[in-house]
Structures are given as C-alpha cells and as structure tokens.
Structure 1
Amino acid sequence: MKKRVGVVFGGRSVEHEVSVITGLQVIENIDKSKYEVIPIYIDKDGKWLIGDSLSKFENFKNKDFKGVKEVVVVPNYNNRKVYLHPEKTSLFSKKILETLDVIFPAVHGTNGEDGTLQGLFELMNIPYVGGSVLASSVGMDKVMMKSVFKSYELPMVDYIWFYRNRWEDKEKLIEEIEKTLGYPVFVKPANLGSSIGISKAKNREDLIKAVEVAIRYDRKIIVEKGVEKPREINCSVIGYDDRLKTSVCEEPVGWEELLSFEDKYIKSNTKGTKNGRRIIPANIPDDIRVKIEELAKRAFMAIDCRGIARIDFLLDDKNNIYVNEINTMPGSIAYYLWEPKGISFKELIDELIEIAIKSYEEKNKNMYSYDVNLFNKIDFQNKCGKM
C-alpha cells in the first residue's frame, strides 16, 4: 500500500514564494509508485488548504485554484487526520478529508523552518522529514547557531549581535562594531534566509542603512566581520545521529559581495562552469574538500540535526575555512549536490522519508509515562492549602 505523504508548503513568511517552488518540486519528483501525495498549502493569511489544483505551478501563477478546501490539523497525540475547517461543517460532523502517514514540510523561513511547524507534528506524533524542533530552531536563529558552533569549537568569523532596542543608542553601538570588527561587515536579521534583509557595509553610512533594513525583519541582528577575497563553498549532509554522508561541494560564482535573492532563485544554475551560477564540484584542493566535509558533519551533529541540511562555508585567500551557517530542511534540499554522486532527486526524497520514519520509530522507543501513583501519595489540601 502506498504511504500517504502530506507535502506542506507556503506559509506566513517573506519566503512564501520560495516555499511554494520547493513544495511543488517535491510533489513533481516524489516517487508516485510508492507514495500518494497530498498537497497542503498554507496561504499568506495562514489558512491551510488542500486540493488537486495545488500541485500545479501554473495555478499559482494565475491564482486559479479550483476545488480547494480549507482544512485544519488537530494537535492530538497519534492523530494523523486532516479535517474540513470547522466553519465548513457542523459541530457534530467533523469531516475527515485525508489521513497521512508522513509529512514532508517545505515551508521556508518564519513559522516553518524555525521549529514551530515541527512542534505541531511532534504533538501529532507523526513522522516528518527534516530536523527536530530543536535543530530547526537553532539552525534558523543565527545567534543561537553560532553559540552552539562556538561550543563545538567550529571555526567562524568574529561577530556581534544585539536586540533591536539597542539601536536607539546607535552611536555607542556603532562605535562598538567599528572597534571590534572594523569594516567591511555583513549585517543580517538573525532569523531569516534567502538573503532577505542582508547587506554589506563598507563604512559607517552603509552600516546605518544596513541595520535600518535588518531591524525591519527581526528583533535580533547579527553583524559579522567580512572575509577578504572570500570564496563561498557549500556542502550538504544527509542522515541522522552519527550515520552521515556528505555531498559534493559547490562554489557559487558570479557574485562580488553577497548572493541576492535573485541570484539564489531566479538566475540559472549551470554545473561545472563559471558561465553559470555554481561550479559543481567546487574547484578546491582535496585536503580542503576533506576538511570541509568533516566540518559539515560536525556542524550537522552540533545542532542534533537529521534528514538533510546544507552547510555554507567561507574560504579566504589563505585557504582558512570558516563555517558560515547551516540551512536545515526545508531551507535547503540541495538535490543538485547529490546528483553528481548518482543520487537523483526522486531517490533523495525517498531517503529523506525513510530517515523520517526511522527517527520516528527511534523516538517512540522512549518512555513517556512514569507511574508512581503520585496523586494518592500527596495530601493536596494540607500540602497546598484549600482552593
């Protein structure tokens, strides 16, 4: 019998459109002989919708959705059902529309990649692809991520972070940044991806503008020291616990200072050539590649990740390696990094679903009840006073 896979995409995030593309890519490439796909779209208002028309990209371009129904999922333990929205049915006739075996989340950014959606799936006790609540939230928050990486002694560039309200005394903060980091620096919202809200500052005027942009997107801001003549090298990791394997490395090219949203999602990707946006595999010495692969695994395990993630590195002109960030599911499926190793997108999706089921089975070996008959051993009235 085919497993019923709910692919969840969209969401209330500035990365909504990217998420739709990721979700539709998964739906297009999943093995239909093994899985029955249920598209679950979260619109920009936060409504959950299902319907066959949600599996076609043209319908999103034309905003033409036929037969779409608003639904809810209930966070009850071992509940795997998708119900018609209560307003569409009577109180005593909750209509079950779908029953799911596993969930493939493809919601980028806020309210999806940050552990919130994963928390819902944990309450439902349903297998889901990608990192846990902890791994997702730590991987999303660049400040927490770097704190964890620091404890694992992973090499990183120097940085400063602050809350939005500190910008009210901007002169003091600017002086601290200039004294500690100098220029150039990169200014980033702590909890966003896809290069949104990120700027490079070469002087004080740039810095002020960069922070003013970043604080529109997040209350936590991180400022990182710029690397001289940097090369970006990325590597993907798949697996769980210490059973990990790495992809080939890539080098994004054609960028001078920062990969923009357009660079990442609109411009073409050509493998193995500088005429495209990536060189795959990256043209780096074997010893550097081996170090990057090892650091990628260490970063993956540092946040207790599972499923798949892409770890981004910076390489300076002296071949010093710095861990820049980890992009957990669904921030990066990075299927193009696995194809050179003979793993197709379809096979990658299949492996991710298998990991989700195995880690789910492993989690459910844990004991969640400890009966000590506590209620009968405590005199509540005398202990706590009368209600």
Structure 2
Amino acid sequence: MSTPQPKTRVALVYGGRSSEHAVSCATAAGVMSAIDTDRFDVVPIGIARDGRWVLGGADLTALALAPGHTPEVTGEGDLRLPLATDNRTVVDVRGAQGATALGDVDVVFPLLHGPFGEDGTLQGMLELADIPYVGCGVLASATMMDKHAMKGVFASHGLPIGPFVTITDRQWCTDPQAAIDAACALTFPLFVKPARAGSSVGITRVHSREELPAAVEAARAHDPKVVVEQGIVGREIECGVLQGRGHDAPRTSLLGEIVVDSEHGFYDFDAKYLDEKDVVLSCPAELPQGDADRIRTMAAEAFEAAGCEGLARVDFFYTPEGDVVVNEINTMPGFTPHSMYPQMWLASGMTYRDLITELIDLALTRRVGLR
C-alpha cells in the first residue's frame, strides 16, 4: 500500500493595512472556498489594519464583501514569518496561550491588494525568509503598484500610454497652483487617482479646473502622490496573463470587457464590488480578431516589460478608431470567483480551482532570490 503524499502547506495572507483591506478579505474567502483541499493544507493569516498578524478562521461568511457588510481582520495575536533560510515555521508569538507553532509553510499565497502587500514590501520579507510565494517579485510588485513608475516602464518599452501628470507631496504642499496648471494642460475630463492604490479607491472624475483641488485632496487621503490622467474615449478591455511553465512564454486569456451602467459614470469601487447588477463583465469581448490578437500580444509584452511572474491583469482602452492604449497592470488583480481575472481564464478553459492550483505550482517551482 503506497504512503499518501503529504499535503502542500499554503499560508493565505489577506487583509492588510491598505484601503483595499475589505477587498482582500473577500478574495481570501473566494480562494478558501475553492482551493483543492486534497492537495493543499491551508493556513489562513489575516493582517489587521494596524499591522497585527492574526491566525484566521474558517468563517467564510465573515470574510465576504456584501452591501451592508464590510469584512475586517480582527482578533488577538502577533504572527511573524521568521527571517531564516532554514526554518519556514509560522509561530504565534503573542497568543493567549503563549508561543504556538503553527507548522512549516511550503508556500505563501499573498492575497493582499495595495500598499504594504502588493507593492513589494511583503515580497521582500518573503525573499529574506527564503519562502516561495505566489505572484510577482519585489521589483515588479513595487514599480507596477506605482502608476507613475509603471507608465515610465511601459513608455520605455514602446507600449502606448495615455497623457498624464504626477503631483508629488512636495509639489502640492509648496505650489499647488503650478500642479493644477500642469493638470489643466491635459484635456478634460480627467481622472485623479492615488498613485499607489487600486480597486478604484480614491478616484475622482473631474470636468473643470474648479473640481481639481477637491479631487486631489480625495486622492491624497489614500496616497500623498497623485496621478492625473487624461480621459480616453474607448472601451475598457482586459487581458489575463499567466506565467509560462519553465522558460515558456507568458500565457494570455481571452479578452474581457467591462460595461458600466451610466449611473456610475466609471468603474468605481461600488460598481466593482457592491452594485454588480449595474456592471456587465463580458468575455470573450467582441473585437475584430486581428485587434484581439494585437491586444493579447501587447498584454504579454507588458507582463515581460514589467518583469512580472505568476499572474497579472493588463487593462487597455480600445478606441473607436481601433487604437489600443495600455491603462495599467495589476500584479494582484481582483481574485474573487466573480472577478474578471478568474472569469477570463474560465472562458479560456481553466476553472477557478485549477487556476489557484496552477499559481501555487508555479510558485513552488520558482526559486527565491535573484532569478
């Protein structure tokens, strides 16, 4: 009789200190509900808004995001992953019963969105700890989290981007009128965004100079660095990218399209996560085959230009003239079962469960450190 193979122990890390805390909790609920428990032993670890790491539970309802309910990581404890290459043990160093070892961790699946999780900070810690993890490394995570740096990378690789200006904290505090003047050199409407946030948090659409100061302040509530982008008339097209196995080229999904009810104006937080009835996620998007192939090729080029690993979702504008503009790339895209990234892969023939398994397997075969 053969001895059963031990399960791979996966630490799911969610929550976090960013404004996307609740979205991350919802992502964790989705992954825990679908992960292959025959192959994987899950260790859920939540990060509270104050930075405490706590051992999570199995109550998926509490983690779900719904109208009237915003999930939150709470509880006692202070978990830390050790910074040692010969020990991957997660230990509760401040639990009610004293220090408690939770067991060895084979791989970490960071389900964090935004700063202090998706931006290379957690990835750097895991690199120091010599622990494999799902998704992009330190550099790609950091540069693609910052919309200013991201656009610079894409432009340097010849990828088309839209007009924009960046307003730094120093610029806004020392000469706000000059910053407003620079933004007004763009063509309205404008989209004012935190440079290092996602899920459409803190974004305002503005139509006049008079609206800009309040919009900048709204973005600065989430990030002192602000990006002002010129609005582009076009369809919002997305493409999921998955790292190839070994030295294979990145894989791209069928394209998806977001159609938002006019009541929302644009794809804001409520449209993404709360008012799903007002949003149509269409996949595959109806495009001429040649243009669809061009966008998928461009998505793979953006993935490689950024140095991404594991997964990413590349967002485009497709204009009535047939031009394609890269809007942004997300190194930890929305990953609930109903999010666009898993839906695009489902339409491409890969189930949510299989997608989770593939990402973990890719992480386990990738070495940590320089690569």
TM-score, with structure 2 as normaliser: 0.88
CA distance in 1 between partners of 2:72 and 2:22 (Å): 16
Partner amino acid for 1:260?
A: D
Alignment-derived partner of residue 303 in structure 2: 300
- Note the C-alpha offset of 1:86: 4.3
- Note the C-alpha offset of 1:303: 1.1
Partner amino acid for 2:60?
A: K
- Note the C-alpha offset of 1:206: 1.9
- Note the C-alpha offset of 1:278: 1.4
Q: Check whether the contact 1:128–1:357 (CA below 8 A) recurs between aligned residues.
A: yes
Alignment-derived partner of residue 266 in structure 1: 274
Q: Is 2:302 the partner of 1:316? A: no
Q: For residue 276 of structure 2, give the secondary structure of its aligned residue in structure 1.
A: coil
Alignment-derived partner of residue 133 in structure 1: 138
Task: Please give the residue correspondences for 1:1-387 in structure 2 after superposition, counting only pairs within 5 Å.
Answer: 1-51=6-56, 53-58=57-62, 70-86=78-94, 94-168=99-173, 169-179=175-185, 181-228=186-233, 230-240=234-244, 243-256=249-262, 257-268=265-276, 276-329=279-332, 331-332=334-335, 334-360=341-367, 363=368
Q: Which moved more, 1:170-179 or 1:124-133?
A: 170-179
- Note the C-alpha offset of 1:95: 3.5
Q: Check whether the contact 1:263–1:277 (CA below 8 A) recurs between aligned residues.
A: no
Q: Which has the larger radius of gyration?
A: 1
Change (3 A) 1:101 1:205: same
Superposed CA deviations along residues 252-306 of structure 1, whole A, max 9, x for unmatched, are 112454211011112337xxxxx85211111111111111101100110011101
CA distance in 2 between partners of 1:86 and 1:178 (Å): 52
Q: For residue 49 of structure 2, give the secondary structure of its aligned residue in structure 1.
A: coil
CA distance in 2 between partners of 1:65 and 1:215 (Å): 25
Change (3 A) 1:78 1:149: farther
- Note the C-alpha offset of 1:68: 6.9
Where does the alignment leave 5 or more consecutive residues of structure 2 unmatched? Answer: 1-5
Partner amino acid for 1:254?
A: V
The CA RMSD measured in Å over matched residues stands at 2.4
Partner amino acid for 1:346?
A: R
- Note the C-alpha offset of 1:63: 8.2
CA distance in 1 between partners of 2:292 and 2:355 (Å): 22
Change (3 A) 1:78 1:289: farther
CA distance in 1 between partners of 2:364 and 2:342 (Å): 20
Partner amino acid for 1:232?
A: E
Q: Check whether the contact 1:27–1:55 (CA below 8 A) recurs between aligned residues.
A: no
Q: Which moved more, 1:207-216 or 1:327-336?
A: 327-336
Alignment-derived partner of residue 369 in structure 1: none
Where does the alignment leave 5 or more consecutive residues of structure 1 unmatched? Answer: 270-274, 367-387
Q: Check whether the contact 1:307–1:329 (CA below 8 A) recurs between aligned residues.
A: no
Aligned length: 353
Q: Check whether the contact 1:309–1:332 (CA below 8 A) recurs between aligned residues.
A: no
Q: For residue 227 of structure 1, give the secondary structure of its aligned residue in structure 2.
A: coil
Partner amino acid for 1:327?
A: N
- Note the C-alpha offset of 1:107: 1.1
Superposed CA deviations along residues 71-101 of structure 1, whole A, max 9, x for unmatched, are 22222223211112247577xxx54222111
- Note the C-alpha offset of 1:170: 2.3
TM-score, with structure 1 as normaliser: 0.85
Superposed CA deviations along residues 29-85 of structure 1, whole A, max 9, x for unmatched, are 11111111111111222211115x345223776989999754222222232111122
Superposed CA deviations along residues 10-31 of structure 1, whole A, max 9, x for unmatched, are 1111111100010111111111
Q: How many percent of aligned residue pairs carry the same amino acid? A: 38
Q: Check whether the contact 2:260–2:266 (CA below 8 A) recurs between aligned residues.
A: no
